[in-house]
Amino acid sequence: MSVLDEIVAGVRLDLARREAETPLLDLRAALADAPAPRDPMPHLRAPGSSVIAEVKRRSPSKGHLADIPDPASLAVEYAAGGAAAISVLTEERRFGGSLDDLRAVRAAVDVPLLRKDFIVESYQLVEARAAGADLALLIVAALDDDTLRRLHDEARDLGLTVLVEVHDEPETERAVALGAELVGVNARNLKTLEVDPDAFGRLAPLVPSDRVLVAESGINDETDVKRYVTEGARAVLVGEALVKDGAPRDAVARMTGVLQ
């Protein structure tokens, strides 16, 4: 079993518990109180690099990254630094996140929010919107074609912008065929946790120029951002480097607006 398979198995167990606690009909009723979804695409299409700044406590590859007792305060710093969007990890077992983190961040900032999780069922998309998310992540490696397309369409029907994540050529071809507007290239293979720093440059040419490319993983500073922008990225998703930086507002500002 791959690392990704193990993560998804745990996600399904936690999902079953939440579904038992809150039926889907009740969750859909909560959508009436959710704020209207914010559109991140105008910012992400603007000239210069955009930053999707991540609230991330730990990861399977690096273990503990940072104590984040108040994710809302960190999000406020990200927003002040000019983040185009804020990613909130909500996976519990491997990343130490929760939907409560997402709700807290939503109450604190007005920028678009990404629910970063291993989404495998429609219920999770409704959860995302009910908690105030504007974007949802779909990982191609975790989904077959039919499920990927169904979840992509359902997310869009809910008003969510979809970040479709790939890490190799076949996955990129699937994302393009899906019509994904926002494509994230993850340098980290979630099945093995190995990082390929050349993945973005290799896969970017496979994505039509009218789509928006996001570089993910292994981004430490503005030098890395410059490299990815040169290779075609319009945005970078950064977690570890920001949560470990003593001045996340300044770090986001340095990575924002980088031109080719």
What amino acid positions are annotated as catalytic residues?
A: 54, 56, 116, 165, 186, 216-217
Rounded Cα distance between 138 and 219, Å, is: 21
Residue environment code for 58-72, b if the CB has 16+ CB neighbours within 10 A, otherwise e: bbbeeeebbebeebb
Contact 243, 54 (CB under 8 A): yes
Check: CB of residue 187 under 8 Å from CB of residue 216. Answer: yes
Task: Tell me phi and psi for residue 212, to 5 degrees.
Answer: -105, 125
- The answer to whether residues 146 and 173 touch, using CB atoms and an 8 Å cutoff, is no
- Tell me the three state secondary structure of residue 29: helix
Round to whole Å and give the CA distance between 239 and 218: 9
Q: Are 135 and 160 in contact (CB under 8 A)?
A: yes
Terminal alpha carbon distance of the chain: 41
CA angle 38/255/63 to nearest 5° reads 85
Residue among 132, 131, 129, 171 at smallest CA distance from 154: 129
Determine the Cα–Cα distance for residues 2 and 60; give it in Å rounded to an integer.
12
